[in-house]
A and B are shown apart, each in its own frame.
Chain A
Amino acid sequence: MDKLKSSLPYIIGAIVVMGLSTFLPTEQPIISVKAEHLFWLGPLNVTNSMLTSWLVIVIAVGGFVIGLRNMQLNPSGFQNFLEFLYESLYQLTENVAGTKHAAKFFALPATIFIYVILSNWLALFPGLPLMGVGLCEEHHIEAKAGATEHKEEAAAVAKWWKTCEPGQVIVPFLRSPSADLNNTLSLALVTQVLAQIFGITILGVGGYAGKFFVTHKMTSAKSGGEFALGIIDFLVGLLELLSEFIKVVAYTFRLYGNIFAGEVTVFIVVFFIPLFAVLPMLAFEVFVGFIQAFVFFILSVAFYTLASTSHGGHDEAH
């Protein structure tokens, strides 16, 4: 009985909010695959995801700068947490890459992990991308099945609770940077180019090229059967070369797809049932955000390790 009494204000508040939202309907949610444009900074098109990525950078850099002021030998508090983060990531790198190259392979993937996890979780901050705070912009009414006339009609009627002109929609100020293909593509390109650089510096140009153009079995063949195997090896090497480019696409779309799909799902569920139905979805999105950042990190380190082992080389003993 006591619990019911203390939670009564929340129950009443929830019912009031849900009731209000039934009487203040909004239009079809506008989902855009591209990040929406906010303003021009010279020739640079600043989108809402770019703004959020600046915010993420400020938070990450500021967090580390503040946490590492007056570094103690026995850390406590925030410095302890940052050291825990650093050491866990470094231990993971050592498990995958071995102790010889772990220091080299650690820097970029760990940074990308911190950037990606912050940008994934910032999009879930209560209210941020979904709140009706943003710029009013002209809506390009797209043709939809059977909704065209209805949409023009609905857009032209000015409703008193809307602050934008009729025919305009609100573009939110913040949107997860990982829900922007440009952002994930740049992360993927940097990671993959660094993998090639690591391969070339560790194995040498000839050694690294020898992984993709495998000719030693062909040239040292003594019989027709061995020559056929050599040709197969050569073709597999070419396939490996192709897969280096495919990895860029995979990195990009894995992160983009997970985060964008999560955002769209939360957006649409909120438009159906205002408060409660979205809570399990948000919890799942927290989990997915962490997993995607972690997978980007582990995959980068794993591919760096693969790129730096010669064809037919074995792992170092753990």
Chain B
Amino acid sequence: MEAEAAKLIGAGLAVGLGAIGPGIGIGLATSGALQSMARNPDMSPQVVTYMFVGIAFAEALAIFGLVICLILLYATP
């Protein structure tokens, strides 16, 4: 297999597989936030703040995969 083809396949796999975990994680974080906001609407601003922190953590892992994909496609590693 040529290096070029392998790079393209790797780029696709990196971002595709790398988004599974964070997707589940963000869904869990948001679901927890929604449940707690439904129970206690007064705490909504605080809950939303911490939900965003949790989402950013999970999204960072997806972004790591995306950065590897971009490096594979556009920068000669």
A-side residues, CB < 8 A to B, are 31-34, 92, 95, 142-145, 250, 253-254, 256-258, 260-261, 264, 291-292, 294-295, 298-299, 302
> Quick check: B70 and A261 within 8 Å, CB to CB?
yes
- A95–B53 Cα gap in the complex (Å)? 14
Chain A residues lying within 8 Å of B46, measured Cβ to Cβ, are: 95
Q: Which of A256, A260, A295 contacts B56 (CB 8 A)?
A: A295
B interface secondary structure, majority: helix
Q: Which of A143, A257, A295 contacts B53 (CB 8 A)?
A: A295
Pairs A–B under 8 Å by Cβ, sample size 30: A31-B70, A33-B70, A33-B71, A92-B49, A95-B46, A143-B76, A144-B4, A145-B8, A253-B60, A253-B67, A254-B56, A254-B60, A254-B63, A256-B67, A257-B63, A257-B66, A257-B67, A258-B60, A261-B63, A261-B66, A261-B70, A291-B52, A291-B56, A292-B56, A294-B52, A295-B52, A295-B53, A295-B56, A298-B49, A298-B53
- A294–B74 Cα gap in the complex (Å)? 29
Q: Enumerate B23-77 residues with CB–CB distance to A below 8 Å.
A: 46, 49, 52-53, 56-57, 59-60, 63-64, 66-67, 70-71, 74-76
Chain B residues lying within 8 Å of A250, measured Cβ to Cβ, are: 60
Chain A residues lying within 8 Å of B57, measured Cβ to Cβ, are: 295
- A149–B67 Cα gap in the complex (Å)? 28
Number of residues of chain B lying within 8 A (CB) of chain A: 20
Q: How far is the CB of A227 from chain B (nearest CB, A)?
A: 35
- A295–B66 Cα gap in the complex (Å)? 19
Number of A-B residue pairs, CB cutoff 8 Å, is 57
Look across to chain B and name the residue whose beta carbon is closest to the beta carbon of A29. B74
Chain B residues lying within 8 Å of A292, measured Cβ to Cβ, are: 56
- A295–B54 Cα gap in the complex (Å)? 9
Chain A residues lying within 8 Å of B8, measured Cβ to Cβ, are: 145
- A92–B53 Cα gap in the complex (Å)? 13
In the complex, B20 has a CB within 8 A of chain A:
no
- A143–B7 Cα gap in the complex (Å)? 11
In the complex, B5 has a CB within 8 A of chain A:
yes
B-side residues, CB < 8 A to A, are 4-5, 8, 46, 49, 52-53, 56-57, 59-60, 63-64, 66-67, 70-71, 74-76
> Quick check: A260 and B52 within 8 Å, CB to CB?
no
> Quick check: B74 and A31 within 8 Å, CB to CB?
yes
A257 in contact with B60 given A32-B74, A142-B76 (CB within 8 Å): yes
A261 in contact with B76 given A250-B60, A254-B56 (CB within 8 Å): no
- A302–B54 Cα gap in the complex (Å)? 12
- A92–B75 Cα gap in the complex (Å)? 40
Chain B residues lying within 8 Å of A95, measured Cβ to Cβ, are: 46
- A125–B66 Cα gap in the complex (Å)? 24
Nearest 8 A/B pairs, CB to CB: A257-B63, A254-B60, A295-B56, A33-B75, A257-B67, A145-B4, A31-B74, A261-B66
> Quick check: A258 and B76 within 8 Å, CB to CB?
no
Look across to chain A and name the residue whose beta carbon is closest to the beta carbon of B55. A291
Look across to chain B and name the residue whose beta carbon is closest to the beta carbon of A288. B59
- A258–B63 Cα gap in the complex (Å)? 6
> Quick check: A260 and B70 within 8 Å, CB to CB?
yes
